[in-house]
Copies of this chain bind each other. A is one copy, B any other.
Amino acid sequence: MPPLILITNDDGYQSRGLHQLVAIASELGEVVVMAPEHNSSGLSTSITCTRPMRVHSTKGPSGIEYHYCDGTPADCVKMGIEYFCPRPPDLVLSGINYGSNASINIAYSGTMGAVLEACLDGCQSIGFSLLNHSPEADFEAASSFIRHIIDSVLHHPLPDYTALNVNIPRLDASQIKGIRVCRQARASWVDSLEKRIDPIGRPYWWMTGKFVCDNPGEDSDEYALANGYISVVPVSPDFTNHSAINILKHLES
Footprint of B on A, CB under 8 Å?
A: 39, 41-50, 52-55, 74-75, 78-79, 82-83, 104, 106-108, 110, 113, 116-117, 120-122, 145, 148-149, 152, 156, 158-159, 161-162, 164-165, 178-184, 186, 188-189, 191-193, 195-196, 202-207, 219, 232-245, 247-253
Contact = CB atoms under 8 A, between A and B. Distances in A.
Contacts of A203: 54-55
Select the residue from A108, A164, A219, A243 with max chain B CB neighbours within 10 A.
A108
Which secondary structure characterizes the binding site on chain A?
mixed
A207 B74 CA distance: 11
B53 A179 contact: no
Given A74-B108, A179-B253, 5 more contacts: A53-B193, A53-B207, A107-B116, A161-B186, A180-B252
B245 A145 contact: no
B240 A181 contact: no
Contacts of A179: 251-253
A110 to B, nearest CB: 8
Contacts of A108: 45-47, 74
A4 to B, nearest CB: 19
Contacts of A249: 181
A241 B49 contact: no
Contacts of A238: 183-184, 186, 241
A178 B253 contact: yes
Contacts of A50: 39, 41-42
Given A55-B203, A251-B149, A162 B244 contact: yes
